[in-house]
Amino acid sequence: MAKKTTPDNPALKNFNEACSLIADHPIFAPLSVRASIIHNENSPYPEDGWAIVTNNGYIYTHPKRRGEVAEWMYVLAHCFLHLGLGHLKIKENQVAWNVACDVYIAKFLNDLKLGKVPADMESRIDLTIKDEQQLYEQFMIKGIPDTSRYFGTAGVSKLDMNVRETTKRYWGKAPDWEAYFAYGLSNAVTNAVSVAGGHANTISDPALSLTAPQRAKRWFMDRYPLLGALAAGFEIIEDPAICRRFDISIAAIDVIERKIFMNPAAGLNDEECIFVMAHELLHAGLQHHERCLGRDHYLWNVACDYVINLWLVEMSVGEYPRIGLLLDPELKGLSAETIYDRMVGDIRTYKKLATLRGNGLGDILDNGSSSFWDAREGQTLDDFCKNAMQQGLMYHEEQSRGLLPSGLVEEIRALGQPPIKWDVKLARWFDHYFSPLEKTRSYSRISRRQSSTPDIPRPQWVHSGAADDGRTFGVILDTSGSMDKKLLAKALGAISSYAQARDVPFARIIFCDACPYDAGYMPPEAIADRVQVKGRGGTILQPAIDLIQQAEDFPKKGPLLIITDGYCDKLTIKRDHAYILPKGNDLPFSPKGPVFRIN
């Protein structure tokens, strides 16, 4: 739409009002949301006319033309009908074809009773018209009558259709203008029935105008229970300006804010919108934004796209858009994690691939904030997505809606199983290295005597002294300035508790950031009690690892626990080890030991 530069300009006010009214009309709404109306002095507008239309969907209007609202509505509808009726074709006699189309549109608008014919354009139609093609053939034989040259919007005897526009304005395939016009006619008929039945006040009632993405959302809610609950919880954003701001070529999803962005300029029909919306909903339902876990966000997005697109094609959900989406049959049956691992070996190639958002951009937007999710709604975002997918699967199976890919069913059911917490995994790690100590009977110290037999001393169960040899481990603490204090407290508290429970007598503590600081051996109960963090400088962990590996008083087989936030260089470790990281962070290299992520 044209930008209003002069607030008190009545001519511009009439033009803007006409644009708004024609955009709300059910017949022209699908066309107007995808076409571009240019209303400025730098455009190739007709100097002696009102407007011209190009094959790429541009409508160039005269910026200085004074007209009533009804007149501008007539002119804009005339241009939209050129697009919707497929008139922008190259013919043998382009002038005759343009005039034939203008006369046919004038008859159409006269029957529709839309707008008002401008004073410098013809309104009387004396010809018997069947269609524009028959009229064109008649003009080719008998010539063009002089009165027929006044029906165009570019001026007398001027072409109001530019069929050779070369400016490319759409990513992927060009819009199907005739299909959009058919959707508009269908909407108009539906709305007319609704008005006649008393369900709406006027045929232009906004409640009756549904775009293709809105119809796709309603389709999921009415007919596809697997994703219906998820679709109901997301808002559809179709603002072209917002999509341009976020560089969204076709679609994207913001799970945190519960919004699905659909760019109307992508030119998707109803079936393609169903496919694209199912794609975005599966991103949310399978929690791909949470499962990234420190991986490269874009490559993880691409890996998930491969999996989702294969499932949707197999399930025949909607129509696969032929716009270069990621689809590789050789990856069928693989998980997103497996595909990601393959992609890491050839990052340069996969970085050039395009998602629904565009080249080099992921369609999972991750800049949201959890504060947008209202806690008063009674459940968290993760719980909502999990419950929606599980209930959808249950309804899908109960209603016998067809078979689903086994991989998709496994992932949905896995959502119902809570993940093993990091501290439980850490406990298992301790169990692996520190098995329970065997107890033996000892007479070196007499235990308590029983009251019934006070003269009979009984042996005491004690741990074997040799069993304590080598039962220790090293703890390397990243004390750099970027390290969270709460993370350190949680990690040290868990280590202290598990070490005491497994009868570990001492642990070797080393603080490290810019340089290592050896705190020596500490009993487990003192680790979380009196430890004072040293440092808070930069992150260089390798000196601390070298120090403990070369220490003569540390067992050669003693394992290491490394607590870090992940912002460190590649480490060289020659003994068993494990990492404790914050949730969402990852190491810049492939870790050889297990990784425990603190929630």
For the ranges 129-133, 204-208, 516-520, the lowest mean pLDDT is seen at 204-208
Please name which of 369, 386, 364, 381 lies closest in space to residue 300, comparing C-alpha atoms.
Answer: 364
Residue 296's pLDDT is: 79
d(CA 38, CA 61): 6
d(CA 225, CA 396): 6
Residue 236's pLDDT is: 92
Cβ pair 253, 365 in contact under 8 A: yes
- Backbone φ and ψ for 62, nearest 5 degrees, come out as -70, 115
Residue 4's pLDDT is: 43
Residue 369's pLDDT is: 41
451-463 average pLDDT score: 68
121 confidence band (pLDDT: 50, 70, 90)? confident
Does residue 377 carry a pLDDT above 60?
no
Residue 371's pLDDT is: 41
Does residue 445 carry a pLDDT above 90?
no
The percent of residues in the chain predicted with pLDDT above 70, rounded, is: 81
Which are the contacts of 318, defined by CB distance < 8 A and separation ≥ 6? Answer: 216, 271, 272, 273, 274, 275, 276, 277, 278, 312
pTM over 0.85: no
Does residue 199 carry a pLDDT above 70?
no
pLDDT digits (tens, 9 = 90+) for 133-186: 888 988 898 888 888 888 889 888 789 998 877 665 544 456 778 888 887 787
d(CA 575, CA 570): 15
Residue 343's pLDDT is: 82
For the ranges 50-64, 339-353, 436-450, the lowest mean pLDDT is seen at 436-450
205 confidence band (pLDDT: 50, 70, 90)? low
d(CA 576, CA 560): 6
* Strands laid side by side in the 235-237 sheet: 235-237, 259-262, 251-254
DSSP 245-277: HTT-SSEEEETTTTEEEE-GGG---HHHHHHHH
d(CA 370, CA 381): 8
**Strongest mean pLDDT among 60-64, 343-347, 383-387:** 60-64
- Backbone φ and ψ for 139, nearest 5 degrees, come out as -65, -35
Residue 376's pLDDT is: 43
Please name which of 126, 32, 30 lies closest in space to residue 72, comparing C-alpha atoms.
Answer: 32
**Higher pLDDT pick, 529 / 338:** 338
Does residue 203 carry a pLDDT above 70?
no
Could you tell me where the beta strands, DSSP code E, fall in 457-571? 460-463, 472-478, 506-512, 516-522, 560-563
**Higher pLDDT pick, 362 / 380:** 362
464 confidence band (pLDDT: 50, 70, 90)? low
Q: What is the mean pLDDT of the chain?
A: 80
pLDDT digits (tens, 9 = 90+) for 57-81: 899 999 988 899 999 999 999 999 9
d(CA 403, CA 392): 13
Residue 78's pLDDT is: 94
How many other CB atoms are found less than 10 A from the CB of residue 334?
Answer: 18
**Higher pLDDT pick, 470 / 9:** 9
427 confidence band (pLDDT: 50, 70, 90)? confident
For the ranges 55-64, 199-208, 309-318, 464-473, the lowest mean pLDDT is seen at 199-208
Please name which of 72, 95, 65 lies closest in space to residue 161, comparing C-alpha atoms.
Answer: 95
Hey, CA dihedral for 224, 226, 232, 234, is it positive or negative?
Answer: negative
Does residue 469 carry a pLDDT above 70?
no
Please name which of 357, 24, 323, 358 lies closest in space to residue 175, comparing C-alpha atoms.
Answer: 323
- Backbone φ and ψ for 100, nearest 5 degrees, come out as -60, -40
**Higher pLDDT pick, 348 / 117:** 117
Bridge partner list, 92: none
433 confidence band (pLDDT: 50, 70, 90)? confident
**Higher pLDDT pick, 406 / 530:** 406
pLDDT digits (tens, 9 = 90+) for 291-317: 777 677 888 888 899 899 989 888 888
Domains of the chain from N-terminus onward: 10-180 (no CATH), 211-415 (no CATH), 466-598 (3.40.50.410)
332 confidence band (pLDDT: 50, 70, 90)? confident
d(CA 26, CA 211): 10
Does residue 210 carry a pLDDT above 80?
no
pLDDT digits (tens, 9 = 90+) for 250-273: 899 998 888 999 988 777 878 889
